[in-house]
Amino acid sequence: MADLQTQDYIRLSATTMTPPSERSHELEVAKLIDVTRCIGCKACQSACMEWNDLRPEMDEFNGAYENPHDLGPGTWTLMRFAEHENEQGNLEWLIRKDGCLHCEDPGCLKACPAPGAIVQHANGIVDFNSEACIGCGYCVKGCPFDIPRISPVDHKSYKCTLCSDRVGVGLEPACVKACPTGAILFGTKSDMKEWANERITDLKERGFENAGLYDPAEVGGTHVMYVLHHADRPSLYSGLPDKPHISALVGLWKGVLKPVALIGIAAAVIAAFFHSVVVGLNETEEADEEAAAKLLSGRTDKS
């Protein structure tokens, strides 16, 4: 849970202070989603709703298996279904459990203007702290994966917490517990990578030459990883970004403009102040009033 007493934060949004990080002797965790084992049963989606007490509004049918049709403030994980025709002309049904990937370098956290509204735990979980959230939507712009959703009711941002409340007391996330095929695994990141490698070797032996792990280095790696049959083309899986990165625009805004701007504003104020100290104020003098009076009376004389 995202309260400061947790004392294991490695990052806090919008703060220049060192976060309370003394109790950080934790192993990095990861959830491994083995897309190749997924049967699309949506048990994970139900378990997420169940554990987190989420009941998103009933959606309309829009011609696809997705239900609801998109992530939402009350839908933190969503099975996405993509039909792909492979080189042999066979149909592949690529089903991906979408949700927050818990980036090592979280774009949402970087973009967030509210101190402590987004935190990163030592175990890698990126969590939203609703009481500090101001509902500006900057996290939505920071995220390379289009994950956070702002509630129109309470104007807070929501996404998967990786069940930080469960993980904090030694349990696995609810979706992991519910998965009937073992397609979702949870453990330390190094264990998950090891397991994924075994699985990938297996897949390659079975003809999926491009099988691989999705743990994109562009965002420092993620704490939710996918095993994909087509790791060379992640975008086949309902638009999973091939090269996810925090937008350069966000980098310019938060990385360059933010520090330069305040210095610029402060410099302008200081320059103005010292101008008045050096040159002095521009005051109307007696001579001006006399000259003005002369012009005024000159006009009177003529009329």
Partner 1 sequence: MNLPKAMLVRNATLTRVNHWITGICFVLLMLSGLAMFDPVLFFLSDLFGGGQWMRAVHPWIGIALVVSFSGLVLQFWRDNLWTRDDVEWLKQIDHVVRNEEQEVPEVARFNAGQKLVFWGMLLLVPILFITGLTIWEVYFFPYTSIETQRAALLIHSLAAIGVILVWILHVYAALWVKGSMRAMLRGTVTPGWAWRHHRKWFRALVAAGSAGPTPESHSKIQRP
Residues near partner 1 (CB under 8 A) are 13-16, 113-115, 132-138, 140-141, 146, 150, 152, 155, 247, 249-250, 252-253, 257-258, 261-262, 264-265, 268-269, 272, 275-276, 279-286, 288-293, 295-297, 299-300
Nearer to partner 1, 136 or 213 (CB): 136
Nearer to partner 1, 169 or 296 (CB): 296
Q: What is the smallest separation between the CB atom of 119 and partner 1, expressed in angstroms?
A: 14
Nearer to partner 1, 1 or 252 (CB): 252
Which pair of structure tokens corresponds to residue 232? 């060379």
Element (H, E) at 299: helix 286-302
Which pair of structure tokens corresponds to residue 41? 């049963």
Q: What is the smallest separation between the CB atom of 31 and partner 1, expressed in angstroms?
A: 25
Nearer to partner 1, 94 or 126 (CB): 126
Q: What is the smallest separation between the CB atom of 144 and partner 1, expressed in angstroms?
A: 10
Q: What is the smallest separation between the CB atom of 41 and partner 1, expressed in angstroms?
A: 30
33: phi then psi, degrees, rounded to nearest 5: -105, 110
Amino acid at residue number 87: E
Residues 6+ apart with CB under 8 A from 218: 144, 243, 244, 245
Residues 6+ apart with CB under 8 A from 279: none
Residues 6+ apart with CB under 8 A from 193: 30, 213, 215, 225
Nearer to partner 1, 205 or 283 (CB): 283
Length of the chain: 303
Q: What is the smallest separation between the CB atom of 57 and partner 1, expressed in angstroms?
A: 16
